[in-house]
Amino acid sequence: MDSPVSNTNRATARSSVIGSLRGCTMAGIRIPKENLRRKITMPQYLRLAIRDAIESKDVASAANRHSAADSNGGDVAQQPAESPIVVFVNSRSGGRHGPELKGRLQDLMGEEQVFDLHFLKPHEFVQYGLGCLEKLAELGDSCAKETREKLRIVVAGGDGTVGWVLGCLGELHKQGREPVPPTAIIPLGTGNDLSRSFGWGGSFPFNWRSAIKKSLDIATEAPTCRLDSWNVSISMPAEEVVDPPHSLKPVEESSIDLGLERIGELPDKVSCYEGVFYNYFSIGMDAQVAYGFHHLRNEKPYLAQGPISNKLIYSGYSCKQGWFFTPCMSDPSLRGLKNIVRMYVKKANCSEWKQVSIPSSVRSLVALNLNNYASGRNPWGNLKPEYLEKRGFVEAHVDDGLIEIFGLKQGWHASFVMTELISAKHIAQAAAIQFEFRGGEWKEAFMQMDGEPWKQPMNKDYSTFVEIKRVPFQSFMIRGD
């Protein structure tokens, strides 16, 4: 398996326009439609078996029905596809290209191999769809066995959608159901940083009908690489998180290490949540702006018809929320995060927690896994070896087991960071992080994972804890460049 390329072309990474032009260039290479269809489409009986298993939610019965049909002379003589592909489409992502894209994909491959995430959740496919292939393989079906082993996934959506699918595929590791299919990306979101990081471009291509065909062809045989993912655990006074993102789920109990010296008291009853992110986790003003933007897009989808309009609205929200024009000390709800957060980190190969000071001017804390953030920016920067050595840092990679923590001050500082005129405020590089929040005058904080924000309730009497630690297995990604 190939090692990931840590530093993608910076010009491509930070320009969605160039990403779109790249799509047009790819479209210029002619790929015969029928050749691609034969290459990626599963035999019909397998497609029907998968659909039957998902609809009935009964793997054994579906496998037995279709296995019995084969024994009576159905498709038993069929050969498996050379490189079978399953596509997940988020028809609500980004500029709403999903419905048209879904139709195009169904035209290029078996209709049963294209799933709209509005109607089918990825964990249902993992449980029933892949389960059906595995059951048929157990029954001696060599075509099903080879299809399961060769299968690749393509996700058409934004970063949050890609993370959602990767998280569900990650369950295969826990259940011992290898191999885990590698994943390619068709960018439909606003930032598309996961897509940029693995060479799939920064935006939905202009000449998309031809470019999609090329993307599918690349996904069949391109090399794979590894990606770290990070588990977020939240322990809070007994309350509910309203409208949590797909990647954040309630759990029975928390795995957080509570042996540290605490600011506040621990309540008798707690609510616990867990989730996984692949690009970044952030706290503060950037998450607050994202939260407002997401609500506006859901309430008035006609205002957000594509990446450019999305970014204009996003900029307007940044000003409205006071990141640019309101002094930090004018209101408790706008003060620096140091007033409510205490942060601890574990360094690589170290079991001890160490408290790290948060600069008083920082209004947004970001824990970053990729070299791409906010539509292809690199806020951590390409740091010189002397600086890395001085700070005790190492060069950042997506599979190094470390995460970079930086701070953003007011909106002006963030703007200079996003244009890469300066680097963000480097705070730490860690193998694990723990935050303790004390409410005080703050009734809520804003957090987000991979572009999916939520409002985190806070209690003035009791602390809320958030712990980030690396998931023990890595995701497999397909390189598009």
Q: Could you tell me if residue 56 is inside a domain? A: yes
Residue 357 shares a structural domain with residue 281: yes
Residue 178 shares a structural domain with residue 320: no
Q: Which residue has the tokens 């460049």?
A: 481
Q: What pLDDT digit, counting tens, does each position of 112-146 carry?
A: 999 999 899 999 999 999 999 999 999 999 999 99
Q: Could you tell me if residue 479 is inside a domain? A: no
Q: Do residues 364 and 407 make contact, with C-beta atoms less than 8 angstroms apart? A: yes
Residue 170 shares a structural domain with residue 244: no
Residue 145 shares a structural domain with residue 41: yes
Q: Could you tell me if residue 351 is inside a domain? A: yes
Of the three residues 183, 205, 222, the one that is the final residue of a domain is: 222
Query: What is the DSSP track for 259-316?
Result: -S--SSBPPSSEEEEEEEESSEEEEEHHHHHHHHHHHHHHH-GGG--SHHHHHHHHHH
Residue 256 shares a structural domain with residue 382: yes
Number of domains in the chain: 2
Q: What pLDDT digit, counting tens, does each position of 250-287 carry?
A: 998 877 877 776 666 677 788 999 999 999 999 988 88
Residue 140 shares a structural domain with residue 282: no
Of the three residues 170, 190, 222, the one that is the final residue of a domain is: 222
Specify the CATH number for the domain of residue 330. 2.60.200
Cα–Cα distance, 380 to 324 (Å, whole number): 21
Better pLDDT: 388 or 340: 388
Model confidence at 94: pLDDT above 90: no
Residue 213 shares a structural domain with residue 262: no
307 — pLDDT class (breaks 50, 70, 90): low
Domain range spanning residue 128? 33-222
Specify the CATH number for the domain of residue 214. 3.40.50.10330
Residue 384 shares a structural domain with residue 454: yes
Q: Could you tell me if residue 277 is inside a domain? A: yes
Residue 299 shares a structural domain with residue 218: no
Q: Could you tell me if residue 480 is inside a domain? A: no
Q: Could you tell me if residue 265 is inside a domain? A: yes
Residue 303 shares a structural domain with residue 411: yes
**Stated length of the chain:** 481
Q: What burial class does residue 178 get, using C-beta atoms within 10 Å of its C-beta: 0-12 exposed, 13-18 middle, 19+ buried?
A: exposed
Of the three residues 222, 241, 264, the one that is the final residue of a domain is: 222
- Residue 110 is predicted with a pLDDT of 83
Residue 289 shares a structural domain with residue 335: yes
333 — pLDDT class (breaks 50, 70, 90): very low
Mean pLDDT for 49-56 is 96
